[in-house]
Amino acid sequence: MIRKPILAMFASCLLLASGTLFAADAAAPAAAAAATEAPAAPPPAPVAPTIAVDKTSLDNGGTITITGKAEPGKPVVIEVYNEHRVGGSFFDSKPDKDGKIPYKLYLSKDLPAFYQILVPTSQQPVLDKFKKEGRGWSYSAALKETGADLAYLNPGKGPMDSFQASLMATILGSRGDLLPALDDKERVKRSMQIMKGRYRSVGKLLAATVDQKEDGSFTAKVKIPDGSPDKKYVITAVVDKSTRSEPVTVENKVSFPVIYMENAGTSLNIFVPFALVFAIATFGVLMGAGGGFIINPVMVMLFPIPHNIVAGTVTPTVLFSQGSGIMNYSKIKFINWKVGITLGIAMLAGGFIGPALTTMITLDQFKSAFGWILFVLAALMFWQTTPGYLAKNKKEQAIMKEFQKRAAEAAKAKA
Amino acid sequence: MIYMHINFWGQEFKVNLVVGCIGAFLIAVMSSMFGFGGGPFMVPLMTVLLGLPMYVVVGSSLLAIFFNTLMSTTKHYSFGNFDLDLFLVMFPAAILAGYVAPMIAKRLNPLWVKRVAVLGLTILGLSLVGVF
């Protein structure tokens, strides 16, 4: 009597157990199937955009058309950078919140030699607004407002040095005390300031050319101007922080007489600076000043070469003409070594300090200071054309001729 | 101590060292910072402020600025402010100009060259300070 219900219970338990077992067996493949079909809908992870370019190589610049597809409704920004690396600097001399001036110099040698982020065409008014701000525009604010900050991936990754500048350090001819390494966030922030100092204009760093349709497909154009660096340009489309396309590369070819100048970060037809320097230096010799006064400002105005590179490269150029001048004057004994060396030592000290200051000023400060130097020089030149000066000069020229005659005779007598 | 006596072709000159050294130092800072020689500033310093005649100054000022250029070249180089390719393009052009200019100089009136220079420098200066 009692056995029956027990048996029944046992049987039902068994049935239940096997039922759940069976159910579990059946559920397993279903779950596996659900796992493989999961990305279809609804999507837990966004789909990376795809991009293609209309050409794989350029000949000293050109326009690249980028086409691609992203998810509908997700705006795309595109980063374009060149693989060549160049240097740049930013000197922080703006008072902070407490009114203290930091006097910090940030230096990077790991900036792309060409850099542009393409933003949607709808952002054109934002870019125009920043263009109107003139020299003082903020790159970081422009990146943020246009959404381009998502694509700001390449600069600011590499090493960056920062220095605490001080009057004493400058007198000692150094850049200052090397500060501890910057953290990632700070490095990215400073890299934006350095990039802005190097490329300066809104139009160079940002372009509103991404034309995106409702279905998510887009086309964009990037203009690589002539004179841009050669080798690889890497293009990446970005939707958000973790979603970006595979990079696509385009090769820019430059051929002789156009060459890429590594430190200047620009490609130049070598005959252009050659002819320019020849013409300016000739005029410089004629007017009695070296060519450096005109070569430096003209170079920074015409070519996208940083002012510190121009100054540092023109300086050794004049060294040799000075050396040959000294040789010629010393042959006819027209150098007073005592006064020349005494003043020379004072100048040696000055030459120790000046180059450290070149990187601390911006290109705009370089230009305007140079403008004033040229006004002073023009005034000096004008003074040399006044009758009083000419009369005095005539007398001294006569004495000089007399001395030169005597020097020639002395040399003859010796021989 | 302040004055240095120099002898040039049998003539005696007295040079104020304080004025000379401070002036030379400041010109050197400026010229090395902006990348030019500095001759046109040294010549008036030595003729007007130090009272030396032109014939002493032409060669001696060149010697003085050579020190500055030598130092600023090494400093600029050590800071990485140098592009070899650009130098190799500019250097022969400057040397060539050094040969060609004296040939042209004989046919030109130096007064007019100076006048053109005044005009050219003023225009360049105005465009640099952003007037146009």
Q: For residue A148, what is the domain's CATH number?
A: 2.60.40.1930
Q: Give the chain A residue nearest B101 (alpha carbons).
A: A282
**Cβ of residue A316 closer than 8 Å to a chain B Cβ:** yes
Query: Is the Cβ pair A311, B81 closer than 8 Å?
Result: yes
User: Any idea where the domains of chain B sit in the sequence?
Assistant: 1-82, 83-132
* Domain identity same for A31 and A57: no
In percent, the amount of chain B with pLDDT more than 90 equals 59
| pLDDT of A334 above 90 | no
Question: Do A158 and A108 meet the contact criterion of CB atoms below 8 Å apart?
Answer: yes
Query: Chain A window 136-155: which residues touch B at a Cβ cutoff of 8 Å?
Result: none
* Domain identity same for A126 and A248: yes
| pLDDT of A62 above 90 | yes
pLDDT confidence of residue B54 = 83
Beta pairing partners, A260:
A267
Query: Is the Cβ pair A351, B75 closer than 8 Å?
Result: yes
The whole-angstrom distance between A178's CA and the closest CA on chain B is 14
What does the alpha-carbon distance between residue A375 and residue A367 come to, in Å, rounded to a whole number? 13
pLDDT confidence of residue B83 = 95
How confident is the model over A31-58, as a mean pLDDT? Answer: 70
pLDDT digits (tens, 9 = 90+) for B84-99: 999 999 999 998 988 8
Query: Is the Cβ pair B40, A289 closer than 8 Å?
Result: yes
Closest by Cβ to A329, choosing from B54, B59, B77: B59
Query: Chain A window 371-390: which residues touch B at a Cβ cutoff of 8 Å?
Result: 371-378, 380-385, 390
- Nearest Cα residue to A209 out of A326, A12, A82, A66: A66
pLDDT confidence of residue A233 = 96
What does the alpha-carbon distance between residue B47 and residue A403 come to, in Å, rounded to a whole number? 18
Query: Is the Cβ pair A339, B102 closer than 8 Å?
Result: no
- Report if residue A406 sits inside a domain: no
Beta pairing partners, A89:
A107
Final residue in a domain of this structure, among A253, A286, A301: A253
* Domain identity same for A77 and A147: yes
* Domain identity same for A336 and A206: no
Query: Chain A window 167-226: which residues touch B at a Cβ cutoff of 8 Å?
Result: 173, 175
Domain that holds residue A64: 50-253
A29: how many CB neighbours lie within 10 A of its CB?
9
Question: Do A315 and B35 meet the contact criterion of CB atoms below 8 Å apart?
Answer: yes
- Nearest Cα residue to A130 out of A200, A186, A187, A81: A200
* Domain identity same for A22 and A149: no
* Domain identity same for A194 and A57: yes
- Total domain count for chain A? 3
* Domain identity same for A58 and A40: no
pLDDT confidence of residue A113 = 95
Q: Which two tokens stand for residue B123?
A: 């225009």
* Domain identity same for A96 and A131: yes
* Domain identity same for A169 and A72: yes
* Domain identity same for A162 and A71: yes
pTM score: 0.82
* Domain identity same for A81 and A229: yes
* Domain identity same for A102 and A40: no
Query: Is the Cβ pair B117, A283 closer than 8 Å?
Result: yes
Closest by Cβ to B97, choosing from A273, A281, A368: A281
The whole-angstrom distance between A72's CA and the closest CA on chain B is 47
- Report if residue A193 sits inside a domain: yes
Closest by Cβ to B111, choosing from A290, A356, A385: A385
- Report if residue A79 sits inside a domain: yes
pLDDT confidence of residue B118 = 94
Question: Do B4 and A254 meet the contact criterion of CB atoms below 8 Å apart?
Answer: no
- Report if residue A26 sits inside a domain: yes
What does the alpha-carbon distance between residue A270 and residue A283 come to, in Å, rounded to a whole number? 20
Residues 6+ apart with CB under 8 A from A92: A102, A103, A104, A105, A106, A193
Q: Is A330 exposed, middle or buried (0-12, 13-18, 19+ CB in 10 A)?
A: middle
What does the alpha-carbon distance between residue A339 and residue B47 come to, in Å, rounded to a whole number? 13
**Cβ of residue A103 closer than 8 Å to a chain B Cβ:** no
Chain B residues with CB-CB distance to A348 below 8 A? 28, 67-68, 70-71
Final residue in a domain of this structure, among A185, A219, A253: A253
* Residue from A86, A314, A315, A345 to probe the interface with B (highest B Cβ count within 10 Å): A315
- Report if residue A93 sits inside a domain: yes
pLDDT digits (tens, 9 = 90+) for A103-116: 999 999 899 999 99
Range in A160-174, A290-304, A343-357, B67-81 with the lowest mean pLDDT: A160-174
The mean predicted confidence, pLDDT, of chain A is: 86
| pLDDT of A35 above 90 | no
How confident is the model over A323-335, as a mean pLDDT? Answer: 84
Q: Which two tokens stand for residue A268?
A: 């130049």
